Amino acid sequence: MDAPDMSASPSMKTEDFVFSAGEQWLAATRVQPDAGAASSILTLHGLGQTANRHTIRYVLDHLAGHGLASVCFEFSGNGDSSGALEEACLRRRYEETLAAAEHLDKRESLTLIGTSMGGHLAAWVAPVLKPACLVLFCPASYPADAAESRFDGGLARPAPYPDSPAYAGLREFSGDLLIIGAGKDAVVPAETLDGYLAAAKNARSKHIVWLDDCEHFIHRWLPHQDALRPQVLTTIRDTILRARARQ
């Protein structure tokens, strides 16, 4: 069970909904400081059978406690969404990300929060959605020719691929970049994160936070770190607010 976020607002409102993306129906939740607040943050979860929209809630609840509303959702084949995981691919998830972004308030500057595969997607769609801020947890990177590879065992392993669409997307990114890396990550090599920083040459700011004792599945670990969790949440919140103020 995730550790509770004591900074969450007592008036925080959540709303579950579904939306269509191609032939699929995707399950989503709005997390708002109060009813009707404009949602300007979108989260993208990682790859795997157990990946879902709920593990990031400790972050979103904290942000709602500071006036920031968000949308989290599940890609097809995960959680409460329709579809089969083994039939999905990065290209489909790129399109599903764009469909999810339609449920944000365009009057506010956009933030994308991506975890692992979701980090790759967040950077890939950045030239289209033009976020003011990217927050990436242990972001993966896949080669360009992996876009159509089904998630049935044939997807390339994360690595610092020079032709990665994530790196290409970051080269066009001019907002604020925050990367949170895991020191004991056995899934995404540290060089992959170096590639993200190098690609973001036009970013307004870029910063990396290393959690030395953390493994790849960061959202299983960080909620229970009473000393580190508040520091990381504050860094995320301040980065988003600073990016919004600069717009």
Query: How many residues does this entry show for the chain?
Result: 247
Q: Structure tokens of 68? A: 């920031």
What type of residue sits at position 169? G
Element (H, E) at 198: helix 190-199
Task: Supply the angle between the helices 57-64 and 228-246 in degrees, to the nearest 10.
Answer: 60
Q: 231, 32 in Cβ contact below 8 A?
A: no
Joined together, the tokens standing for residue 209 give 């936070």
pLDDT at 143: 98
pLDDT for 10:
60
| Predicted local confidence at residue 239, as pLDDT | 98
Residue 111: CA count within 13 A, CB half-sphere? 31
Token pair for 107: 């009057």
74 close to 26: Cβ distance less than 8 angstroms: yes
Predicted pLDDT of residue 8 = 52
Angle, CA 129 vertex, CA 143 and CA 123 arms, to 5°: 30
Annotate 56-84 with DSSP letters as a single string.
THHHHHHHHTTT-EEEEE--TTSTTSSS-
pLDDT of residue 9: 56
Q: Please state, as a whole number, how many other Cβ atoms lie within 10 Å of the Cβ of residue 236.
A: 23
Q: Which residues of the chain have pLDDT under 70?
A: 1-10
Taking alpha carbons only, the member of 186, 227, 230, 193 closest to residue 210 is 193
Residue 234 phi, psi (nearest 5): -65, -40
Nearest to residue 5, comparing CAs of 43, 83, 58? 58
Cα–Cα separations (whole angstroms), residue 98 to 61, 65, 70, 130, 180? 23, 27, 15, 12, 24
